[in-house]
């Protein structure tokens, strides 16, 4: 049985043994080679004539490397590495192209089935403006296929990527149908837009009061405008009919979705992705049929997470392709892109004063964090605003005091708006922020809602690095595109698609941005000993780029062609 075709039973019995190469990691994830076997003759692959950025401080630059049994076995000069070529060695002349370690996305919802089967009213991958008419027309076409009373749903709406220069509203969606409940989901995941039929079925009227952690938004006259945020959306879950599928159909959709998104990941240079929940069976089935092209850190929730707790399965259980990582994000507040994250000061320019949504009480958060921490599962919370980050840190500090664990690395998904006190506490805990990366380019049109003073403290990679924090990259797809090069460009320039620059004090260098997207990503899942840099003994995951992000116009980094994405020495994508 090959390593790519482990069945479900054998996966559950795998451990993390057999990792080659004795490695140590310093405070900043810098690789220190403690012991290396002599480079073997007759490697499986030799790559030469390359500009290799290793993200390994012992040898930051190289010209060539060798791979054997899915791992790097030697890194160095053209002459030294070519001398290893044997009769059965494959070779690749990079012709001066740039090679970096495979990119790691530390927060991704991996919704491949949505991409394949649902109505997409916006572009999931690039900046593209649409019209409200186009959204209505797509949903009308779907409504014609569905019986009355059945939900009609649209995905990937972005309120600042609309040619009409206004938000979608209830009247627009009433044009879709008066017989179907209609919802359009903002790609940010925290707000949705409903038609009158859906509001009526849910019993939501102009007199309905907002709920803790959610709002029913209104127009200037006080009438419902159809926009509903965060926890207020729960009333829609039990109304209307949903399209149903047989167990076989559902399994097929799940498998096809994972296979599809895996192809997209490697197309954009991702070799490891932290999956926020999802169908674990589908991921394993796709692997068994040889179509899982990227490595998965599976972040469990729901029944799977509960089974981990009750069965004693801890973070790190699995193998190099599918491994249990941190918990899925436990939501503490709202969204940055949809302007519902919890702030310690009111949102600028909003009347009446609004500070966002806290979606969890401190007591409930304390209890959940402590339970996960005691179970040996790396804790992960969604905390965007400074209020939510403070709540999570309080909960974790409390749990660590009650039950000390070494090297626990609490993960903070998003960790958008920071202050000096939060940074100091994060550094003390060795907390891992998985911050938005593509937002600096893709969502720059939303920064105006926060203003420059708040943006100086948002997605604060410079501040975090300067304080010894292992900041990692988290696209948050579907809310943000997962193109790593788009993320790197935004981190380096802090300039968006619209040419506007926000929070320039948080810029990082190209080398730092690459490290955030590679070695720090590996550190986030406690895998820096096996991935994240081009180092002998580590997994041979790397990306071949047509140009060097260090030397091209920084505003063009996102446009660099990915020539190859290689996982374990095997080409998974080729341009």
In this predicted model, what pLDDT tens digit does every residue of 307-343 receive, in sequence order? 999 999 999 999 999 999 999 999 999 999 999 999 9
- To the nearest whole percent, how much of the chain has pLDDT over 90? 93
Q: Are 9 and 285 in contact (CB under 8 A)?
A: no
Q: Are 186 and 153 in contact (CB under 8 A)?
A: no
Segment 283-312 mean pLDDT: 98
Taking residue 419's Cβ as centre, other Cβ atoms within 10 Å add up to 14
Q: How confident is residue 156, by pLDDT bands cut at 50, 70 and 90?
A: very high
Lowest average pLDDT, out of 3-12, 342-351, 387-396, goes to 3-12
Q: What mean pLDDT is reported for the chain?
A: 93
Segment 213-217 mean pLDDT: 97
Q: Is the pLDDT of residue 33 over 80?
A: no
Segment 356-383 mean pLDDT: 98
3-state secondary structure of 509: coil
Q: Name the token pair of 254.
A: 């799940």
Nearest of 380, 382, 438, 441 to residue 408 by alpha carbon: 380
Q: How confident is residue 39, by pLDDT bands cut at 50, 70 and 90?
A: low
Segment 398-422 mean pLDDT: 98
Q: How confident is residue 41, by pLDDT bands cut at 50, 70 and 90?
A: confident
Segment 272-288 mean pLDDT: 97
> d(Cα 273, Cα 305) in Å, to the nearest integer?
18
Segment 494-522 mean pLDDT: 98
> d(Cα 182, Cα 149) in Å, to the nearest integer?
10
Q: Is the pLDDT of residue 16 over 80?
A: no
- Considering only residues 29 and 202, tell me which one the structure prediction assigns the higher pLDDT: 202
Angle between helices 386-402 and 420-429 (to 10 degrees): 30
Q: Is the pLDDT of residue 210 over 70?
A: yes
Kind and range of the H or E element at 86? Answer: none
Segment 74-86 mean pLDDT: 97
Instruction: Give pLDDT, residue 21.
Output: 32
Q: Is the pLDDT of residue 37 over 80?
A: no
Nearest of 284, 282, 384 to residue 330 by alpha carbon: 384
Lowest average pLDDT, out of 9-23, 206-220, 348-362, 369-383, goes to 9-23
> d(Cα 481, Cα 490) in Å, to the nearest integer?
12
> d(Cα 325, Cα 107) in Å, to the nearest integer?
11
Segment 373-402 mean pLDDT: 98
Q: How confident is residue 40, by pLDDT bands cut at 50, 70 and 90?
A: low
Greatest Cα-to-Cα distance within the chain, rounded to the nearest angstrom: 79
Q: Is the pLDDT of residue 3 over 80?
A: no
Q: What pLDDT, in 10s, does the model give residues 423-462?
A: 999 999 999 999 999 999 999 999 999 999 999 999 999 9
Query: Sign of torsion, CA 221 225 227 233?
Result: positive
Instruction: Give pLDDT, residue 6.
Output: 34
Q: Is the pLDDT of residue 521 over 50?
A: yes
Q: Give Cα separations from 84 to 46, 408, 422, 537 (angstroms).
A: 8, 41, 50, 16
Instruction: Give pLDDT, residue 1.
Output: 38
Give one word for 415, left, alpha or beta, with left for phi > 0 and alpha for psi -120 to 50.
Answer: left
Lowest average pLDDT, out of 24-28, 378-382, 539-543, 564-568, goes to 24-28
Segment 132-158 mean pLDDT: 98
Query: Which DSSP string do the residues of 37-51 spell out, in sequence order?
Result: PPPPSS-SEEEES-E
């Amino acid at each position: 049985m090959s390593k790519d075709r482990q069945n479900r039973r054998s996966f559950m019995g795998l451990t993390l043994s057999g990792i080659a190469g004795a490695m140590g990691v310093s405070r900043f994830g810098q690789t220190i080679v403690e012991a290396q076997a002599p480079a073997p003759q007759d490697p499986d692959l030799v790559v030469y004539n390359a500009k290799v950025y290793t993200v390994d401080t012992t040898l930051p630059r190289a010209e060539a490397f060798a791979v054997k049994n899915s791992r790097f076995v030697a890194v160095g000069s053209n002459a030294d590495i070519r001398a290893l070529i044997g009769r059965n060695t494959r070779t690749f002349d990079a012709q001066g192209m740039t090679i970096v370690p495979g990119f790691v996305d530390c927060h991704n919802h991996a919704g491949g089935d949505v991409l394949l089967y649902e109505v997409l009213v916006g572009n999931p991958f690039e900046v593209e403006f649409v019209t409200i008419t186009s959204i209505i027309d797509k949903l009308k076409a779907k409504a014609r296929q569905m019986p009355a009373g059945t939900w009609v749903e649209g995905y990937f709406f972005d309120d600042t990527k609309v040619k009409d220069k206004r938000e979608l509203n209830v009247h627009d969606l009433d044009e879709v149908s008066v017989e179907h409940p209609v919802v359009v989901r903002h790609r940010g995941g925290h707000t949705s837009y409903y038609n009158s039929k859906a509001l009526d079925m849910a019993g939501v009227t102009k007199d309905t009061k907002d709920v803790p952690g959610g709002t029913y938004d209104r127009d200037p006259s006080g009438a419902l405008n159809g926009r509903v945020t965060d926890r207020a959306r729960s009333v829609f879950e039990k109304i209307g009919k949903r399209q149903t599928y047989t167990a076989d159909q559902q399994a097929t959709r799940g498998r096809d979705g994972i296979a599809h998104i895996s192809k997209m990941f490697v197309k954009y240079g991702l070799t490891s992705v932290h999956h926020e929940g999802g169908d674990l069976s589908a991921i394993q089935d796709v692997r068994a049929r040889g179509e899982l092209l990227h490595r998965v850190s599976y972040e469990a929730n729901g029944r799977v997470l509960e089974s981990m707790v009750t069965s004693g399965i801890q973070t790190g259980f699995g193998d190099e392709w599918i491994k249990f990582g941190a918990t899925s994000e436990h939501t503490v507040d709202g969204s940055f892109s949809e302007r519902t994250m919890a702030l310690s000061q009111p949102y600028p320019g909003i009347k009446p004063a609004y500070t966002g949504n806290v979606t969890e009480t401190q007591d409930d958060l304390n209890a959940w964090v402590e339970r996960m921490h005691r179970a040996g599962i790396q804790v992960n919370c969604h905390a965007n605003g400074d209020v939510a980050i403070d709540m999570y840190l309080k909960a974790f500090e409390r749990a660590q005091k009650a039950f000390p664990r070494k090297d626990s690395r609490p993960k903070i998904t998003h960790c958008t708006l920071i202050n000096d006190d939060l940074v100091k506490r994060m550094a003390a805990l060795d907390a891992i922020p998985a911050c938005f990366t593509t937002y600096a380019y893709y969502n720059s049109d939303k920064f105006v809602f926060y203003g420059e003073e708040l943006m100086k403290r948002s997605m604060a990679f410079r501040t975090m690095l300067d304080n010894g924090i292992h900041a990692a990259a988290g696209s948050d797809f579907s809310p943000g595109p997962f193109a790593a090069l788009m993320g790197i460009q935004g981190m380096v320039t802090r300039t968006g698609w619209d040419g506007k620059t926000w929070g320039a004090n948080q810029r990082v260098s190209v080398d730092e941005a690459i490290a955030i997207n590679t070695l720090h990503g590996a550190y986030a899942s406690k895998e820096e000993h096996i991935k994240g840099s081009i180092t002998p003994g580590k997994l041979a995951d790397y990306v071949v780029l047509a140009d060097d992000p260090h030397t091209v116009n920084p505003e063009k980094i996102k446009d660099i062609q990915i020539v190859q994405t290689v996982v374990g020495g095997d080409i998974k994508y080729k341009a």
